[in-house]
Amino acid sequence: MMNWDDKYRLSKDVEREFEYRKWAGEIPEIHLPSGWSFVPMPPFSGAVCRFAIIAKGVRFSVYLDCYDILGCYGEPYWEVYQIDGDVFRCDMDKPEEFIKAIKTQIAN
């Protein structure tokens, strides 16, 4: 088990490497429809941020990959799982696209 000092240093190293402060100023607002819930999660496995959206009782996993660590998109992107049995990806600056994909999924 790491001590507090080691954990703090490691967290600062990760913050610097993944440019969390830079991305905090670039990640767009996400406007959720009424009745949807948002559950924040730690950014594991190379994601810059993660959360879940619960819409009409269905949970969707969402992450932001800014470095093509988890997929191959070519620029910062959102990934939502599961849409039509697969993943859905869209540009970081277009979260309204994944909101629309979730709306379509829960309507089916």
What token pair was written down for 83?
């849409």
8 Å CB contact between 95 and 30: yes
- Per-residue pLDDT for the chain (108 aa), expressed as one digit of tens each? 889 999 999 999 999 999 999 999 999 999 999 999 999 999 999 999 999 999 999 999 999 999 999 999 999 999 999 999 999 999 999 999 999 999 999 998
Cα–Cα distance between 22 and 64 in angstroms, integer? 14
